[in-house]
Amino acid sequence: MKKELGIFILLIVLCIVVSIINPNFLLAINLQNLARQIGAFGIFSIGLGLVIITGGIELSVGSMMALLGVLLSMMLTQWDYPVAVAVLACIGLAMVLSLGHGLLITRLNMQPFIVTLCGLLFYRGAARFISNDETKGFGTVAGLDFLRYLANDNLFGVLPMPFVLLLIIAAITWVVLHRSVYGRYLFATGRNPEAARYAGIDTKNIVTLTYVISGALTAISGIIFAFYTNSVSPANHGNAYELYGIAAAVLGGCSLRGGEGSVVGIIIGTALLQVLRNLVNLLGIPSSLDFAVMGAVILIGVMADQIFTDRRNRRQVALMREMSAGEVQSN
């Protein structure tokens, strides 16, 4: 809980500073835009966070979005699939591909980094090949109103739909991660897979299932992004999005060692990243510095957290030593 609080304070301070320097930050249109971005990035970041809690990693997110985006466009505009079928096919394909990742990792003991790195390369290539490396869009095809509404409209004219979707998905995953049996098993597996196995947990299935969930969330985000940008350039679409997700999860308190993290933290981490991108715009920082600013803030955030954690641990160890010293003397 403390971890989330620290990063939340950082987020608030950042927002205050930006709005003082440039009050445009607080304009409804800016805030809505920001919320839309947070929604679209947050959904897949939650999935990535879950994978990170298993002690794994998922690098293929961005490429997978490009592949799904291209396929979605082709299904809807070229092959005339019904909307519902196309959407389900996208989500289904993402889940099947991620199931493959999970199985390779748990059954063949391959390293998550390698498996998903290959995914990153493979899906990008597949997207470009299938589309003949041409940018795909949705043109003026009818019947896509609902998907456009999901990506671009606001609920009650106020709340951007991607943000609303994020809140719904976050609520569900919060319950699953922090209140359900699966969530507990996930933390146990991520923290100490050996002990989890000795407790009778089917750790392989837990990990595999987590990749599948991540795939489904990636697909949902991917559909939103496709309709938000309204055109999918197979070579660039979703480039480096996995890194946004990893950064958000780590900022939000997920440990790459596994077994640590929370849904709330991941969302705050995502929000922080998007505020940073927004800040670069509003403060007139050259947009070429975009990534440099993000890199610096993530580094400082994670460093501060590490320093605090170490200090807390040292204090605890010192306390235990004092206690045991007293015990020895009384013996």
Partner 1 sequence: MNNIPLLEMEGIGKRFPGVVALDQVNLSVGAGEIVALIGENGAGKSTLMRILGGAIARNDGTIKVEGKPVEINSPREASALGIEFIHQELSVLDNLDVAANIFLRREPTKGGFLKLIDRGRIYREADVFVKKLGLDISSRTLLSRLSIAQQQLVEIARALSAGARMIIMDEPTSSLTLTETRRLLEIVRDLKSHNVSVIYISHRLHEVEEIADRAVVLRDGRNAGELARSEINRQSMVRMMVGRDLKDLFKGAAPEGQSAANGRDGSAGAGFEVRRLRTLRYPKHTVSFSVAHGEVLGFAGLVGAGRSEIARAIFGVEGSLEMDVTLDGKQLRVKVPQDAITQGIYLIPEDRRLCGLIVDFNVRENISLPNLESYSSAKIINYGKETKAALEACKAINIKTPTPEMRAANLSGGNQQKVVLAKWLTFSPKVLIFDEPTRGIDVGAKAEIYQLIRNLAANGVSVIVISSEMEEVLGISDRIAVMHEGRLTGILQRSQFSEEAVMRLATGTEG
Binding site for partner 1 (CB under 8 A): 175, 179-182, 184-185, 187-188, 191-192, 194-202, 259, 316, 320-321, 323-325, 327-328, 331
For residues 136 and 231, what is the distance between their CA atoms, to the nearest angstrom? Answer: 6
Give the residue with the Cβ less far from partner 1, 37 or 173.
173
> In the complex, what is the shortest distance from the CB of residue 189 to partner 1, in angstroms, rounded to a whole number?
10
> In the complex, what is the shortest distance from the CB of residue 176 to partner 1, in angstroms, rounded to a whole number?
9
Give the residue with the Cβ less far from partner 1, 64 or 177.
177
Q: Which residues contact 272 (CB under 8 A, 6 or more apart)?
A: 7, 10, 11, 14, 248, 251, 297, 301
For residues 295 and 37, what is the distance between their CA atoms, to the nearest angstrom? Answer: 19
Name the pairing type of β-strands 159-160 and 231-232.
unpaired
> In the complex, what is the shortest distance from the CB of residue 7 to partner 1, in angstroms, rounded to a whole number?
20
For residues 224 and 110, what is the distance between their CA atoms, to the nearest angstrom? Answer: 31
> In the complex, what is the shortest distance from the CB of residue 122 to partner 1, in angstroms, rounded to a whole number?
31
For residue 109, give both structure tokens. Answer: 């003991």
> In the complex, what is the shortest distance from the CB of residue 206 to partner 1, in angstroms, rounded to a whole number?
12
Task: Identify the three-state secondary structure at position 18.
Answer: helix
Cross-strand bridge partners of residue 155: 159
End-to-end alpha-carbon separation of the chain, Å? 38
Give the residue with the Cβ less far from partner 1, 8 or 182.
182
Give the residue with the Cβ less far from partner 1, 20 or 323.
323
| Alpha-carbon torsion (68, 251, 16, 289), positive or negative | negative
What is the H or E stretch that residue 231 is in? strand 231-232
> In the complex, what is the shortest distance from the CB of residue 301 to partner 1, in angstroms, rounded to a whole number?
22
| Alpha-carbon torsion (224, 7, 168, 47), positive or negative | positive
Give the residue with the Cβ less far from partner 1, 2 or 179.
179
DSSP one-letter code for 141: -
Give the residue with the Cβ less far from partner 1, 122 or 182.
182
Give the residue with the Cβ less far from partner 1, 245 or 258.
258
DSSP one-letter code for 25: G
> In the complex, what is the shortest distance from the CB of residue 310 to partner 1, in angstroms, rounded to a whole number?
16
| Alpha-carbon torsion (92, 104, 119, 185), positive or negative | positive
